Amino acid sequence: MRLHRPLVLATVKALQEIFLNDKPRQADRVIEATLKSNKQWGSRDRAFIAEHTYEIVRNWRLVLFVNEMQADKLRPQFFFQMVGSWLLIKKQLNPEGDNIDFLPKWEEFSFVDEAKTLARLEEALKVRKIRESVPDWLDELGEAELGTEKWTAEITAMNQQAPVVLRANSLKTNQDQLQDLLSDIEIGTIIPDNLPDALILKQRGNIFKTEFFKNGLFEVQDAGSQLIAPFLDVKPGMRVIDACAGAGGKTLHLASLMQNKGRIVAMDVEDYKLTELMKRAKRNGVNNVEVKLIEPKTLKRLQESADRLLLDVPCSGLGVIRRNPDSKWKLTPEFIDNLRKIQWDILSNYSAMLKKGGKMVFATCSLLPSESEAHVQRLLAEQPDKWELLKEQRTSPATDGYDGFYMACLLKK
């Protein structure tokens, strides 16, 4: 692979935006804006920028260590060196990959010392938290909750690029038909086992530009996430509450499983997410959803009104770090502590909206039992006459290659 200076420069600038700003910006937003900024870049150019920016964000601690740099003492001019050293590290770690033949003798790379980079890399590979680039506190927390072997496997798998998974919208098409339609426009996909609506892209590409996306034939939704709506066992005609609906990834899936029949009340505390949800519902041909911004009286008004209740609660997102690698650097232990309180609050209070005999799914995209299983166990222990745990499931990058989701289905007695 030959290096093109403008592409390296774009990668450097994106990294500066992510790590140097007073108000750090989310990596995916920065990359999206960077790619939009030059219409002349072809798909390989765009792939180079996105891939290398994400890789360096994922391996941030490793890159800093190899370059003997400190996160709080960074200067704009250091970033070229980081990209140069990352290209050398990448070649060392995966000699069979599409690597640079040699680092060009550009002035900006003059501080990259190949021998030193490789010597520091050898040292880094001996220490998990540096090798896998996780902050100390997170490495300790993960190990304490999951055990050494599982945590090591998960955090290693979390540093790999995640596949792009589509969910065929069964209100408009199906898995096989969508696969054929995409194949006609040279987008190759694979049908995974046991997921009736999912297609995995063989190669990354801008699928949002396709007419099929614009016409609501599919949504992008991880395979693990596609297990959650079916876990709730909805039927056409039911009254369903999706209490933490956000922009509606799972609401849309519920609507298609219900064949657009019955009613879904999609609620959230953030109005702008519900506005986005309605836009997506329109595109998907969904017309059985009503959105509701949660207010102090909402829960009381909706008491015992739902046949099914989905609590897809806010969480640390430790199960989806493959997709949001910068969250490793933005999360704090205090933030996760606060989330645990909110999660328990939602589980213990919102469950009042479910009718007796109804089913509730509590779900997170966290690997941590303290954000997931522990809350369900507490509910069962505190209210044994009221709840029965019907089933529980976990997905994770190390076990099945899906994102890390937890879901529990409970019956209200």
Catalytic residues: 365
Shortest Cβ distance from residue 138 to ligand SAM (Å)?
19
Write down the least CB distance from residue 338 to ligand SAM, Å: 11
Go through the chain and tell me how many residues it has.
413
What is each CA distance from 183 to 65, 69, 140, 177, 198, in whole angstroms?
44, 46, 45, 10, 15
Tell me whether residue 94 or residue 332 sits nearer to ligand SAM (CB atom). Answer: 332
**Dihedral through CA 373, CA 376, CA 382, CA 385, nearest 10?**
-130
Question: Residue 268's beta-bridge partner residues?
Answer: 293
Sign of the torsion formed by the C-alpha atoms of 127, 131, 137 and 140: negative
Q: Which two tokens stand for residue 72?
A: 């709080």
**Are the CB atoms for 109 and 115 separated by under 8 Å?**
no
Are 240 and 302 contacting, i.e. CB atoms less than 8 angstroms apart? no
Written as one string, the DSSP assignment of 197-256 is TEEEESS---GGGSHHHHTTSEEE--TTGGGHHHHT---TT-EEEETT-TT-HHHHHHHH
Strand, helix or coil for residue 157: helix
Q: How far is the CB of 225 from ligand SAM (least distance, A)?
A: 7
Could you give the dihedral angle defined by the CA atoms of residues 36, 327, 203 and 52, in that order, rounded to the nearest 10 degrees?
70
Q: Which residues bind ligand SAM (CB under 6 A)?
A: 243-250, 268-270, 273, 294, 312, 314, 342, 346
Asked if 396 and 227 touch (Cβ cutoff 8 Å), the reply is no
Least separation in angstroms between residue 253's CB and ligand SAM is 8
CB-nearer residue toward ligand SAM: 35 or 244: 244
Query: Residue 99: what residue type?
Result: N
CB closer to ligand SAM out of 200 and 299: 299
Q: How far is the CB of 252 from ligand SAM (least distance, A)?
A: 8
State the Cα–Cα distance between residues 301 and 75, nearest whole angstrom: 55
Residues 6+ apart with CB under 8 A from 144: none
Q: How far is the CB of 28 from ligand SAM (least distance, A)?
A: 15
Nearer to ligand SAM, 7 or 346 (CB): 346
User: Nearer Cβ to ligand SAM, position 211 or 334?
Assistant: 334
List binding-site positions. Answer: 268, 312
User: What's the distance, Cα to Cα, between the start and end of the chain in Å?
Assistant: 62
- Residues within the annotated binding site for S-adenosyl-L-methionine? 268, 312
Rg (CA), the chain: 23
Report the residue number, 83 or 243, with the smaller CB distance to ligand SAM: 243
